[in-house]
Chain A
Amino acid sequence: MADLRARIELAKLARELGVDEAQLGYLADAPANGLRELRRVTCAALSRRHEARATLLASANQILPVAVAAKISEQALGAGPSARVASAMEPEAAARLAAHLAPAFLADLAARLDPTRVGAIVARLPDATVLDVAQRLLAADDVVTLARFVAVVDPAIAAQVAGRATGAELLRIVLYAEDAAALGVLARRLPEAALVGMLEAADDEEYAVAVELLDGLDAAARHRVLDQVERPGRF
């Protein structure tokens, strides 16, 4: 069986392609870094394919009243195309548009956005909006989307969201996140109890990956957390 990192990469690839992981079962033994690269190349191709149309729609949004552009996003385009359009918009204009979108739609949109392309938009959104969207994603158990945004949202907000997650949810956010530096920052802002809960929710394989999160802590804090973790069958 493939290792945990490879299984996570396969799940991410399946999600980008809108298929069940089982449909990519033949890739189960592929290495994690190869699958990551395949996802990168595939996502770039999908994005390029619709770039011209997304850019056209982004230009059209500039001549329309923002309330109309918001209606078009929610009722005509839907989350998928709207996410492409948002990536093609000027961050200021996209943030203005976001202010007119329903939080539920913003949560759908977040699941389709490429976080690496929308950092400047997210930075312009009110904290309350980001928290509301994150809370909806958490309630929908969409920890994969939350994980993708760990490196994009303000660390204080990321910590607030992670602090509301259960140990198991936080574990999955950490496993699916891609930016080790951002995770380190997050670890330093989280209450120790949250880190303990996360590690206690992990099986042995997950534990080996999740415990790397503690590298972001100083030695004393790291020891304090590890001392509190109760794991059956572990010393």
Chain B
Amino acid sequence: MERLAHRLRVPVDEVPVLSEYDDEHVLAFEKIVHRAMSQEEAAFARGLEDALEFVPRLLRPVAKKMLRGDRG
């Protein structure tokens, strides 16, 4: 339950519903949340890389800096 609460960023005693379920189900739900987050993370990472291809050449260094947090 701690892991799920950490993932959802809520105190352990404020995770709705699942406090009444056994560890196996809490873990199953945590895995589903983790997978949803990872899939979206991957979609963002892919999208950011691909996005730079569409940025006009002149603006690319500025855009790279903004999107990747490059220092120069």
Q: Please list the residues of chain A having a beta carbon within 8 angstroms of any beta carbon in chain B.
A: 16-19, 23-24, 26-27, 30-31, 34-35, 37-38, 41-42, 44-46, 48-50, 53, 56-57, 59-60, 63-65, 68, 71-72, 75-78, 80-81, 84
* Chain B residues, Cβ within 8 Å of A53: 44, 48
CA of A80 to CA of B66, assembled, Å: 20
- Beyond A27-B25, A59-B66, 16 additional contacts (C-beta under 8 Å) are A16-B36, A17-B32, A34-B16, A34-B17, A38-B15, A41-B8, A41-B10, A41-B14, A53-B44, A57-B51, A60-B66, A63-B62, A63-B63, A75-B54, A76-B51, A78-B43
Number of B residues near A (Cβ < 8 Å) is 36
**Is B1 in the interface zone, CB < 8 Å from A?**
no
Contact A17 B55 (CB under 8 A): no
B interface residues (Cβ-Cβ under 8 A, vs A) = 7-10, 14-18, 20-21, 25, 28-29, 32-33, 36-37, 39-41, 43-44, 47-48, 50-51, 53-56, 59, 62-63, 66-67
Min CB distance B23 to A, Å, is 12
Name B21's closest neighbour in chain A (CB-CB). A26
Q: How far is the CB of B55 from chain A (nearest CB, A)?
A: 7
Chain B residues in 8 Å Cβ range of A63: 59, 62-63, 66
The interface residues of chain A lying within 8 Å CB-to-CB of B63 are: 60, 63-64
Cross-chain contact A17 with B25 (CB below 8 angstroms): no
B36 touches A46 (CB 8 A): yes
